[in-house]
Amino acid sequence: MNDKAGSRQARRGTARLAAAALATVGLLAAACGAGQAGYAAEAAAREAAGGPASPAPVRIDGLPVEADVQGGGALAAPPRPVVVADHGGAPTPATVSGAPSPAPGGTPAQARPTTPAGTPAQTRPTTPAATPTAPPAATPSATAPTIPPTATPSATATPGTPTRSLADALTDAIRALQGTPTPEPTPAHGAPDCRRVKCVALTFDDGPGPYTATLLRHLAARKARATFFVVGQNVVAHPDLVRRAAAAGHEIGGHTWSHRDLTTLRAASIRSDLARTAKAIKAVTGVAPTLMRPPYGAQNARVRKHAKQPMIMWSVDTLDWRYRNSARVARVAVKQARPGGIILFHDIHPTTVKAIPRVLKKLSARGYHFVTVSELLGTAPGGLVYRGPRP
């Protein structure tokens, strides 16, 4: 009887010890994640009852040890598949190294031993203990350090698609949700988009002169921009007019120093003449010209070689230098204007300046926008010589 009573008391003590161990492990499991609670409780119950050791060890923080101890004491774990949404397609598994693999249905899979082939099975002491120790070190491997399970996956697309940053993906997603299209670049200085609207470039040669100030007022009244191909010596004589034109948004191009025919000059003289003119323009406006127009439109292979700037011709010649008649100048300009056209005037003639208000009014009524040559072309001309569409 005494033996039976002693046996019952031993069993009760063992049960109490097992219950205490279960309670302790339960608290650890709650702190480390509900996904590991079942495994920890089972391991503690087996050890408290004197059963076989658990097939997988547990670290001191309560998480399962998924791989061998690495050189330096770092613990590594096998890759965890992470779902990365493809654009418009089914979710695609990607790999984030160092996190445990979740089981189907969102429940983390229980840890299993990863003993390398040919290595003896790891053993554990059978003495009851609340927190088992990690297994002894095995053969080191080159796996990466452990990454927390909560690491954010990168926005990696499926194979065959370009790699994009997480910021780009988030920006695209926000735009898609808000229905906001990607904004298109707008032309500088509020210039219209000449690919979508009718544009024409008014150009004035040989100035500045005594009538240029009046011309600037006519252009300002219609908020029209123009291009002035100025003569270098006139820039020096009337720097205030050139400065006013540039400040109003008009473009300033070179027209040689003294209006000489460049085809009659040698290479060195061509370079010297154009450089001197450009220097005078920059001294007044602060900006070197990027376009030029040869006097009389005269150019040849030698001029093209040494000019080193796009030479802007014209698509409409009003012949205002020959016919000093304002009505005729306006009529020719309006009749022959085409979208993308370049109209030639000379602001040194009073009859030309007098014709400009009528030109602006008529072409505005037909839907034209008045822009500089560079605004008309958008960028540098496609060729060295640009004339524009013929009427």
List, as one string, the DSSP characters of 261-328. -GGGS-HHHHHHHHHHHHHHHHHHHSS--S-B--GGG---HHHHHHH-S-EE--SEE--TTT---HHH
DSSP annotation of 342 reads: E
- 206 is annotated as an active-site residue: no
Q: How far apart are CA 238 and CA 197, in angstroms?
A: 35
The torsion angles phi and psi of 278, rounded to 5 degrees, stand at -60, -35
CB 390 within 8 A of CB 343: no
Q: How far apart are CA 169 and CA 155, in angstroms?
A: 7
CB 391 within 8 A of CB 315: yes
Candidate list 68, 205, 206, 320, residue with the active-site label: 205
Give the three-state DSSP class for 336.
helix
Name 51's Cβ contacts closer than 8 Å, sequence gap at least 6: 45
- 168 is annotated as an active-site residue: no
Candidate list 218, 238, 306, 346, residue with the active-site label: 346
Name 308's Cβ contacts closer than 8 Å, sequence gap at least 6: 274
- Alpha carbon distances (Å) from 349 to 165, 244, 254, 327, 374: 61, 19, 19, 14, 25
List active site positions: 205, 346
